[in-house]
Every structure is written in C-alpha cells, then in structure tokens.
A and B are shown apart, each in its own frame.
Chain A
Amino acid sequence: MYELLNRLTQTFGVSGNEEPIRELIINEIKDKVDEIKTDALGNLIALKKGNADAQNHKKFMIAAHMDEIGVIATHIDDKGYIRFSNIGGVSPYTSIGQKVEFKNGITGVVSYEQKLDDIKNLKLSKMYIDIGTKSREETEKFVKIGDTACFCGSFVKQGDFAISKAMDNRAGCAVATEVINILSKTGTDNDIYFVFTVQEELGLRGAKTAAYQIMPDYAIAVDVTRTGDTPESHIMEVKLGEGPAIKIKDSSILCHPAVKSLLEAAAKRANIPYQYEILEGGGTDVGAIHTTGGGVPSGAVSIPTRYIHSPTEMISLKDLENAAKLVAEAVR
C-alpha cells in the first residue's frame, strides 16, 4: 500500500483544486468499480454494487476527503513578492521556512517581515512567498492572484512509519482505494458508494452535497486523527501503530452507537487491533453527512497521525492496512 500512498501524498490537491489528485484516483479505481462520476463541486463518486436481493441489503457511503491544506496567492507586490492566505488550517509558525509548490510546479519559500517585533504576533498577513523574481511583472509570468500552492514534504518510509505532507487525508484515500481492492476480491452484499470528497479542510463542504445525492443508510468517514503519544502531549488515548481508531466523538459529530458497534464487531471478527478516538477540536466529513436528509447514522475510522497539518505528518503503515481491512469487513 505504501507505493500507492507515496503517489497519493505527492500529488497536488489543495482544497478547491483537486483536479490532479482526482485524476490519479480515477485511474487507480475506474476498472474496479461499477459506476464513477465527478459532481458539480468536484467530488469523485464511485459505486461498487452489491447484491440487491441480499438480506439486509444497505447503502453505505465511505467518505475520504482528497483535498489537502495549502495557501492561495492574494496579492503580488511591486518587487514580486507574493502575499497569501491560508486554505484550511495553516499555522504561521509551522509555515516559516517551508517550501511551497504551485500547481504549475513553481517553487517558493515562505518567510515573514523582518520588522516583526515579537514572534508571538506572527500572522499569515505578515508573511510572504518568495519565488526568486525581481518584479511584479516577472512574478505574474508564473503566479497569478488566486493560484494555490501546497506545502512540500517528501515521502519517507522508515520501518513501519511513513512521513509525508498530505497524509491528511491521502492516507484515508489509500484506505478507501484498498477497500475497493479487497471488495473486488471478496464481493459485497451492500451497495457501497466511495466518495473522495472536496473542500473538507474548508468546512466539510463536498461531503454535504455528496451525501445529499446518495442519501445512504449508513456513512463511514476515513480520515486522520491526532495522537497522545508524543512528549508532554495533551491527554489522548490514541497511539501510532496500535491500530486504526474507531471514532466516538469529535467537534463535528457524536458517532452513532450502531455504526460504532458495527465497526467493533468487524474488528473482533477479523482480529484487527483497534483503539477508540475522542478528538477535542477538529471534525471530519461525517459531521456534515449525518444531518443530511432525515439523518444518516454515521461513524468514522481514523488513522492515528502525528504532526497533522505540517509537511511531516507521520503514520504507521500497519495501521493503514488494518484500517482498510476493518472498513472492508464492516461494510461488506
């Protein structure tokens, strides 16, 4: 799975600009699903048909957002420096000294105004991107207002751990893709809609409109979550490498007990290690899905991830594989 994860994480797909990552996923899954389409907002929706005559035939939605955080050029000054805004949760401190790459491949360096009196007052509005040009005209040859860039962070595999930018949420995309692979072999009773959603980082936007089109019986999001296993971290009972996490609560949803039990039962059946996730602050796609229509019982499987929203997000490949097994077992 890590080879796929490598390609997924290194492909461009800042929120609202998911075209490249969507292309990659389409090529990866198109021969393995029954239907596939891109909707008005850019969500990629793929259906794996089940057996309509099966007892308890249900409609599942599996949502993995394919967008990643990044920056957007908002102003170019006379000397060619680019001022920018965040797309999704970007910390000014994490951004200092980072490389960013625009969709067209142009690389820039993020730095901040030297006159800043105290680093505590650092804001994105005091920062800029330098692409090594000398004037506005020269910069505009490469970058225009409204162009987006992602943070650079190469893929490294070291033992069971992998580090890269955009693990949030290409790790989830890799899991969903792997679930399609598994189900291609095992078959499924249920209809399963795999949705690679857009603009999750901007407020769960794609998931909402996708859920409206599908109106599923149940929904499961696959996303990353924080861990509590680093030095002096906040109390959180999630550790890297201890298995995928079954979500209980975050600030967008309190997961439906039926979906939580469904996942627990699947993990026990297939002998997959798992942990429980209670995330304080932060949400995921099911937060928007569960209030759709007359209500959709929803839950989530999370991949424990350290240093989320940095160019060095770290996961365990074992957790990733187990997450795919867990989801496949639960929905099939």
Chain B
Amino acid sequence: MDMQILKELTELNGVSGNEEAVRDYIKNRITPYTDGIYVDALGNLIAYKKGKSSNIKVMLSAHMDEVGFMVTGYTDTGLLKFTNIGGVDERILPGKAVLVGKDNIPGVISAKAIHLQEKEKFKRNWKMKNLYIDIGAEKKEEAEKVAPLGEYIAFKSEFQEFGKNCVKAKALDDRVGCAILMEALKETYDFNLYACFTVQEEIGLRGAETAAYTVKPDIALVFEGTTCSDVPETDKHLHSTRLGKGAVITIIDGSSYADKDLVNYIYNIAKDKNIPVQFKETATGGNDAGKIQRTRAGVKVAIISVPCRYIHSPVSLMAKSDFESAMKLAVETLKDMSSNGDNLKKLLKEDK
C-alpha cells in the first residue's frame, strides 16, 4: 500500500488550534475531486460531493489536529516554559525534540543529566512544570522574539517504516482518518457526501460540534486512530484493540454509543469482503462521534479506527495492514450505501 500521503500528513504540524498546514495540504489535494469546499469559522475543512440521485447526507469526519504544547513563559536565560494542548503523558517528555512555531524552529525538552539528580528526585517522574524547552536562545528577549507567548509547539518525529508491517510516526491520531477521507472523496456516490476534516478534537471535540451543525447530516462515519494496549503486563481483557488484527469498530466509548444497526451493517460488509475487523474491547475514551451524535435532532454514528500503540506520543506505532483494512472498509461501506440505497434507507428509518 502506498504510504506517501500518510507520510506527508504526519510530518506536517497541526496542534489543536493551529491546523493551517494540514488543512492547506489536504485542501490542495482534494479540490479536484469535490463539488465545493468550505472552511468554517473554527477552521474545519468541509468538502462536498454532490450525490447522483439521493438527497441523503452522509458525513465523514476525521480530525486534523494533534496533541502538542504552547509557550507560556521564559526564564531569564532564554528557556521556554510550556504547557500541553490535549492529553499528553508527562512521563514521555524529557529529552524529546520539538518544533516551535510556523517556522518550525527546532528545540529540545530539557532533561537534567542523571549525574545531577538527587537520589530522592531520581525515583520520581518528571512534571511538566519543572521542564523547559531549549531553543538555543541565550536571553529572554531573544526567546520572546522567535517564540512569543502562546506560540504552538509540536513533537518532531519522522515517518518511518518499522519492522515488517509497521510504521512509526507522530500524529497517526488522526492523520490516518484524514488519509481515509481523502481516498473516499475520489469516488462519486448516490448520496451527498460531506467529508469534514475537523479541528480541535483533542481539546474537547470542538470542531466536530460546529461542523455537524453546519452539515446537518443524516448519518455520520467517524474515522480515528485509536488506543492499542496489547502490550506486556496488560491483562488480555484490557487490550482495547490489537495491532495487526484489522480495522476497529467501536460499539461504545465514553463519548458515544454507536448506532447498533449501523455497526452490524459495517461489520457484515467487512465479513462479506473478507476485510480483517475487530471490535474495540474497552468502553473508555472518546472522539468526534460524541458531539456529532448529539447535534440538532440527533445523528446516527459509527466509528472505524486504526489501532495505534503509544498514541499521543512522537512514536506512535501502527500496522500498515490495519490502515489498509480501515481504508478498504470505508470504501466498501460507502460503495454499498451508494449502490444499495435501500440499505441506507433502512438504516435511517424513523417510525412515525
């Protein structure tokens, strides 16, 4: 499978609230395939593809943003103080490379040398409030000039083929979803398609709330990079998903209960087409579906994800085959919805 698009997507920086680079990239690529493109007040990129005959509206959603940091202050010696945007595990921070601001100024997160740490403190994990970012500035004024208060900071990490079947990258959550939406836009469907590349998912599902209000869909499919906990010392029944076992369908999580008929429908398509598929086996976490489902009069939602180990870190790991399965499942589902209009109508039934 060609990984070029995903590579390019993950190497762009788009911390929540600062998605321009990702948005511009996607916009340029998809424009030839759409019947209209709209960027809303929050920065959501909404691509429209007119249906051949039906008036039903299907919304696809994937978020463009990733977790990262923001400059909050300086030391007199020109180091940056920072805070997180979105959920970041503090334990992973010391000694990581980052990129600051639009010009991608390189920096490193401080890590006090092992020799300099007191015995008692050595045993404890670092806290973000005690860490700094060093961009090589020597004075506060110098740092202020290139990294003003509120400047965005992203993890630095190259996309890399890993082992036999894996890739390592940052921001797989949720550039995998973005890549799937970009692919889906290449086809034309019977129904109206709205591909929404949303902003600010990581700080509270912000973009999806207004995008769904704007689109007013009948049905929505959310594409995500999801947690994968099939790692040592974890009980089997707490493995949320498993690497290499296929596309993930979510039944329930902390933010939404997927529409049961829609879940069955997608699962059966996977089985029919021999696409590897697994259910998410924990009920925690959340994503854009939570807001979309509760928009206006309510929307039926389902979530298809790619398992990603070490999510929200610069070294997320994913199996290429899972990405391929999720992509296939998306394409086949949309194809079936398009060619078997009755299936779609059945899914939308409302008893009057």
Contact = CB atoms under 8 A, between A and B. Distances in A.
Interface of A: 15-17, 37-41, 43, 72, 74-75, 77, 83, 85-87, 125, 145-146, 199, 202, 205-206, 208-210, 212-213
Given A37-B350, A83-B237, A146-B263, A16 B297 contact: no
Nearest to B280: A74
Residue from B257, B295, B296 with most neighbouring chain A CB atoms (10 Å): B257
B350 A38 contact: yes
Given A39-B350, A145-B251, A146-B251, A212 B237 contact: no
A41 to B, nearest CB: 4
B300 interface: yes
Size band of the B side of the interface?
Answer: 20 to 34
Contacts of B235: 125
A75 B237 contact: yes
A40 to B, nearest CB: 4
Given A72-B251, A72-B252, A146-B251, A38 B282 contact: no
Nearest to A199: B257
5 contacts: A41-B300, A75-B239, A85-B282, A85-B283, A146-B252
Nearest to A71: B283
Contacts of B352: 37
Contacts of B297: 39-40, 209, 212-213
Given A72-B283, A205-B293, A125 B238 contact: yes
Q: Determine the main DSSP class of B at the interface with A.
A: loop
Residue from A17, A208, A210 with most neighbouring chain B CB atoms (10 Å): A208
Interface in B284-312: 284, 293-300
B292 to A, nearest CB: 11
Interface string B246-284: 000001100001001001000000000000000101111
A15 B252 CA distance: 11
Contact of A41 (B237, B251, B252, B298): B298
A212 B293 CA distance: 13
Interface of B: 235-239, 251-252, 257, 260, 263, 279, 281-284, 293-300, 348, 350-352
Contacts of A125: 235, 237-238
A13 B351 CA distance: 18
Given A86-B283, A205-B293, A212-B298, 14 more contacts: A16-B257, A17-B260, A39-B350, A41-B293, A41-B300, A75-B236, A77-B237, A83-B281, A85-B282, A146-B251, A146-B252, A206-B298, A209-B298, A213-B297
Contacts of A16: 252, 257, 260
A40 B237 CA distance: 32
A205 B299 CA distance: 11
B236 A77 contact: yes
A17 B235 CA distance: 28
A114 B230 CA distance: 24
A172 B229 CA distance: 41
Contacts of B294: 205, 208-209
A39 B263 CA distance: 18
A322 to B, nearest CB: 33
B263 A74 contact: no
Query: Across chains A and B, which 5 residue pairs bring their CB atoms closest together, nearest first?
Result: A209-B298, A85-B283, A83-B237, A16-B257, A75-B237
Nearest to B282: A74
